[in-house]
Chain A
Amino acid sequence: MIGLEHYLYLSGVVFTLGLCGVMMRRNVILVLMGVEIMLNAANLALVAFNKFMLPGADGTVAPDGQVFVFFTIAVAAAEVAVALVIAVALFRRLDTVNVDDVANLRW
């Protein structure tokens, strides 16, 4: 049967894949995609903990963990909007989206 541990291990592996993307990719948009995957892995762990660790008296589950995930999704969407504006601005000004080329704070 599927238990909490399966979800946690899966979440850990997906998080690691996202981390690999963030650290090894050089295109800033791909780095963002890695961040999104890491956030999703954490969300999955939150929902799994909610399901398995917070059962009510009558067997129903209070969805506090799911509410956390809603906040994460909203903040992640805001983060992506701002980051993509920055990425496009970066490309227009410097003609690159390679994170190694952008080492200074100001031009």
Chain B
Amino acid sequence: MLDFMFVFFAAIALAGGLVMAFHQSIVHSAFALVAVLFGVAGLYWTLGADLLGATQILLYVGGVTILLLFAVMLSTRDAGRLAIGRYILMAPVLGLLGAGLLRVYQGVIAISEGRELTLLEPEPTSDAIGQLFVDPHGFLLPFEVLSVLLLVVLVGAVTVARQQQEGTPDA
């Protein structure tokens, strides 16, 4: 059952990723992004991260993709041509990087040898995660810093949008 779930969600994510990266229509790419995000949410569930999967769907599928589609509506639908030619030169470099990464992966996998995914009775993780967020020895400081970041982003976005409307972008 778990194998089937992994293959199912992995296939969704991979197909979505392929369409996102190579489809000529920008709106198609946006909906393929939804597929990728949904597939990753399903993979979170196979790993027993129920709260994370739900958050992924709420925030990414419901929020970020809608924002992206709004930006498409407010700008242009022209996706532009794929710039493949100039990056063929970079393929050997990327291949080397990938080979190095595979080497690291092999070392990591050797450590986790024998640990298999056993989950068919999901336990809620929200309690433990919530405790970690407010634990001074856990993630309290990053949590507070994050709220400051969100405030800065809010003010910054409003500032840029207002400058545009007043027609004084160089103020």
Within 8 A of A (CB), among B26-47: 26, 29-30, 33, 36-37, 40, 43-44, 46-47
A13 to B17, CA, bound (A): 9
Instruction: Give how many B residues have a beta carbon under 8 Å from the other chain's beta carbons.
Output: 78
A74 to B46, CA, bound (A): 22
Q: Do A47 and B44 have beta carbons less than 8 Å apart?
A: yes
CB distance from A86 to the nearest CB of B (A): 7
Within 8 A of A (CB), among B114-148: 115-117, 123, 125, 128-129, 132-133, 138-139, 142, 146
B48, B76, B90, B123: the one within 8 Å of A97 (CB): B76
Q: Which residues of B contact A (CB under 8 A)?
A: 2-3, 6, 10, 13-14, 17-18, 20-22, 26, 29-30, 33, 36-37, 40, 43-44, 46-49, 51-52, 55-56, 59-60, 63-64, 67-68, 70-72, 74-76, 78-84, 87, 90, 98, 101, 105, 108-109, 111-112, 115-117, 123, 125, 128-129, 132-133, 138-139, 142, 146, 149-150, 153, 156-157, 160-161, 164, 169
Q: Which residues of A contact B (CB under 8 A)?
A: 1-10, 12-14, 16-18, 20-21, 23-27, 29-30, 32-34, 36-37, 40-41, 43-44, 47-48, 50-53, 55, 60-64, 66-67, 69-71, 73-78, 80-82, 84-93, 96-98, 100
